[in-house]
Amino acid sequence: MKPEQSYIELFEQHKAALSDNAPGVMNRSREAAFERFAEKGFPATANEDYLYSDVEALFAPDYGMNIKRLAFSVNPYDVFRCDVPNLSTQLYFMVNDAFYLAQQPKGELPERVFVGNMDGFMKAYPGVAEKKYAALSDASGKSLADFNTAFAQDAFVLYVPQGVVMDRAIQVVNILRGNVDMLLNRRFLIILEDRAEAKLLLCDHGMDEVGFLVTQVIEAYLGEGAVLDLYELEDNTPKTNRLSSVFVEQKASSSFSHNGITLNNGFTRNNLFISLQGEYAETVAGGIAIADGEQHIDNSVSIDHKAANCQSNELYKYILDNQSTGAFNGRIVVQPLAQKTVAYQTNRNLCLTKEAKMFSRPQLEIYADDVKCSHGLTTGQIDEGALFYMRSRGISKDEAMLLLKFAFTADVLDLVRLDPLKDRLRMLIEKRLRSKHPHCGGCCSGC
């Protein structure tokens, strides 16, 4: 039996409970998304976008799913105390795939800004919730997003009204808790109206040594002149597998920056779909992937230039050790009306052993004639000349290797526009490269 069949049966048996324990706006898209998923199933390796990532195999084990929304006995504010020097954030939590409501941060938000769960947002801004939820993911035709829409029962929502600039970053810590193997369906909705600005940091942390399979969908809407910085830090156990899809819609003169850093995981597949729909929109997508053992990290980025005078820049780097594998699929499409597009795509990879494998597929599709576009790819090992030079200056081999690997990540970190966060990420990456678990300083179990 194909793995999707068991989830088709699960949905049919429990669709009433799925709806009863979810906000009404999330139920409007549920049935249609399920029907699309049931028709397509999980993406197979025969699909060229999943050539190197066997998603079907991830869903084969028997996972539990918290359809009745039973509460977990954890107060994340007691367990996690994130203390990044000079980084002032509004801190929120998702416990598994539910927004933590029992306690809220003490800081005040700007007037009319909403941060909370979907039920609260639906009550505060019903028209906006109905219009925006699942609109991007439904239109994408992606079966993993449809699976998430069919089973998701809560969502984190950030809404910033027109002209509001948020001085403090929003930080969301996604905590994984469980005593049995669990499948979680996490959801985020981000809406920035015209000229609004916000920074959002998402931290993933597994706390228990059971198996977790996480599907995640993030939908982000940027109005004219809006600015959004989105940072994702993945620091899970080797038994955690994550399938994430980010959908971004940008209007004229908007600016979007995404930086995803994977430090620890079992299997990661990150999909990033960006649509530049208005003139002079800009987007930057960066990522660092560090893997060892038998870890697998796959980043797939699709940027669709639909309007003239837009810019995009991609920079992804991998450091692969032992028998780990990495994959990068980058696709830039320049539509006929997108004249004067400027688009760059770069993928650089270090394979530290003969067993480590990297698969990369950079792609450009250009249907306009007045553009500046390029892509570049290199995969290799540590520069022996640089290593010899450093050892000749009295630096040990291990330390020289560490310095070279750390320097390799520097230009991706330069894309981070929060200096305190950039400094903390440098520390976490250095610890990871030293084969230490990179928990944030000042935390009980992570950042």
8-56 per-position pLDDT tens digit:
999 999 999 999 999 999 999 999 999 999 999 999 988 888 999 999 9
The pLDDT-based confidence of 81 (bands split at 50, 70, 90) is: low
Residue 286: strand, helix, or coil:
strand
Which one-letter DSSP state was computed for residue 83?
A: -
Domain count, the chain: 1
The pLDDT-based confidence of 85 (bands split at 50, 70, 90) is: low
Above 90 in pLDDT, residue 435?
no
Q: Is residue 400 part of a domain?
A: no
- Contact 274/399 with Cβ under 8 angstroms? no
In a 10 Å sphere around its CB, with 0-12 CB exposed, 13-18 middle and 19+ buried, how is residue 88 labelled? exposed
DSSP run (H or E) holding 297: strand 296-305
Q: Is residue 415 part of a domain?
A: no
Q: Is residue 229 part of a domain?
A: yes
The pLDDT-based confidence of 365 (bands split at 50, 70, 90) is: very high
pLDDT of residue 280: 98
- Contact 421/84 with Cβ under 8 angstroms? yes
Q: Residue range 282-306: average pLDDT?
A: 96
Q: Is residue 373 part of a domain?
A: yes
Q: Residue range 369-382: average pLDDT?
A: 92
Q: Is residue 340 part of a domain?
A: yes
Q: 23-47: b or e for each residue (b if 16 or more CB lie within 10 Å)?
A: bebbeebbeebbebbbebbbbeeee
Q: Is residue 431 part of a domain?
A: no
Range of the domain at 302: 3-384
Nearest to 265 by CA among 282, 241, 286: 241
Least confident of 94-108, 238-252, 324-338, 412-426: 94-108
Q: Is residue 276 part of a domain?
A: yes
pLDDT of residue 257: 97
